[in-house]
Amino acid sequence: MIHLIIGTPDSGKSALAEKTVPEIAGDTTRYYIATMIPYGEEGRMRVAKHRSMREGKGFTTIEVPFDAGDISLPEDSTVLLECVSNLAANEMFARHTPADKCAEKIVSDISRLALSVRNTVIVTNHFDITDDFDSETIMYALTMDRINHRLSILADKVTDLTAGRR
């Protein structure tokens, strides 16, 4: 089972994902794939917030800022991947991967990971492009749209918390 949860930043998608995992996991081992590279105090605070949210929920956390498809986990496990937008940002801005190659790599990596385990809950962001965005941020937001579209085709279930907003 692959469940994709799409939302804007701070839309409650992480809380929904952490609620969804126990509903589908059964007796499977639960892994939380954390993808954020915490830059600065704000980044460290966000990581701390997410750690406290999943405390006591039975997750084994694995920090994976790149190459999520290279993770080897037991076939009979449930994975929560948090968050695709971090993987894309890490790839585009830390590795300087061009946008088209970034989308291809992220989707390929997540596909390999998701198809190797029993259940995967994928959290991803949608960004409403505004006039305040510079060209680099617009390219990132458009890349996220391409990634999200391709992941929605792969998913068995899509929960779009932005429905009705766009």
**Residue 70: per-residue pLDDT:** 96
Top CATH class of 2-160 equals alpha beta
Distance CA(99)–CA(70), nearest Å, equals: 21
Q: Where are the domains of the chain?
A: 2-160
- In the predicted model, residues of the chain with pLDDT beneath 50 are 166
pLDDT tens profile 44-72: 787 787 777 777 788 999 999 999 999 99
Mean pLDDT of the chain: 92
Helices (H) and strands (E) in the chain — how many of each?
5, 6
Q: What is the pLDDT of residue 165?
A: 56
3-state helix, strand, coil in the chain (%, to 5): 50, 20, 30
- Beta strands 2-7 and 119-125: pairing type? parallel
H or E, element range at 84: helix 84-89
